[in-house]
Amino acid sequence: MWLYLAVLVGLYYLVRWHRERQVVSHLRDKYVFITGCDSGFGNLLARQLDMRGMRVLAACLTEKGAEQLRAQTSDRLETVTLDVTKTESISAAAQWVKERVGDRGLWGLVNNAGISEPSALNEWLTKQDFVTTLDVNLLGMIEVTLSLLPLVRKARGRVVNVSSIAGRLSIIGGGYSISKYGIEAFSDSLRRELAPFGVKVAIIEPGAFKTNMNNTERILLNVQAVWDRARPEIKEIYGEKYLASYLKLLSSRLLPECKENLSEVTDCMEHALTACHPRTRYSAGWDAKLFYLPMSYMPTFLGDTILTWVLPRPAKAL
């Protein structure tokens, strides 16, 4: 019995391996629009797809970021400035894309733009702190997607949304995890809606990688700034000792564990765009696969215990 089971499992993975190696034809004729290309995953993916010969339309927040990207790529790659929090900027970018792709449509839309700040304990933050993150990571992504869906549908193409393992397991306060949970929900419903049109939707769930969002000094300054403007009663409840221990934990244990090999993530994005049979979800990084994802299926009390045992105690905790 066990032999038959082993054979079946082996055949399953063999068939899966064969399916996932099949590549879409005529990649050099296909256009891909990527948001958040100033740095990080978006920047590397734009260069990676350009090297593969695809028609990359890269959206950058700043003209400086666009100039630097153009200097590193071929003449095929084109850039546009885009602020995903502004409707007029999204509309202009959508029209710009439409003029370039024409009747061929847009093969790939990669929603990569995102921020992680302000982030800290929820009680330290204000409503506007949450709004700031959600505007970029979730609402901006939704508006970009809705603006470009007619072009993606025309090409029977792909939508690739960059979530995070924080969309499976909330590990930090603020709007970041909330936005990533929202991306998961939006992507799931979008995938089912677009399936009849031949459009595939994939979700990328990276673990901890070293990008501008995970810059240690920047994050520590952000947490300190949030604490400095927190209400007096909050500072009294938690205490300065808690803040010092929290900052030390971030700088000495959590942030240094971020991985530098961003290609682990962009390879997943590329596969989602170029494979005939892309996956629905891609977990990038050993921590995502072996720690955070399994933990998201654990009993709640056990996951809470593991995630909180290293945290300091508030001054006025019971």
Question: Which residues are tagged catalytic?
Answer: 176
At a CB cut-off of 8 Å and minimum separation 6, what does 214 contact? 116, 208, 255, 258
149, two tokens? 């869906």
Q: Which residue has the tokens 């299926």?
A: 297
Residue ranges of the alpha helices (H) in the chain?
2-20, 40-51, 63-71, 87-101, 127-134, 140-155, 175-194, 216-228, 232-238, 240-249, 263-274, 286-287, 293-296, 300-308
Return the sign of the alpha-carbon dihedral for residues 75, 76, 77, 78. Answer: positive
End-to-end CA distance of the chain: 55
Q: Which positions ≥6 away from 62 have C-beta within 8 Å?
A: 38, 81
Both structure tokens of 276: 């005939």
* HSE toward the beta carbon, residue 19, CA cutoff 13 A: 10
CB 77 within 8 A of CB 49: no
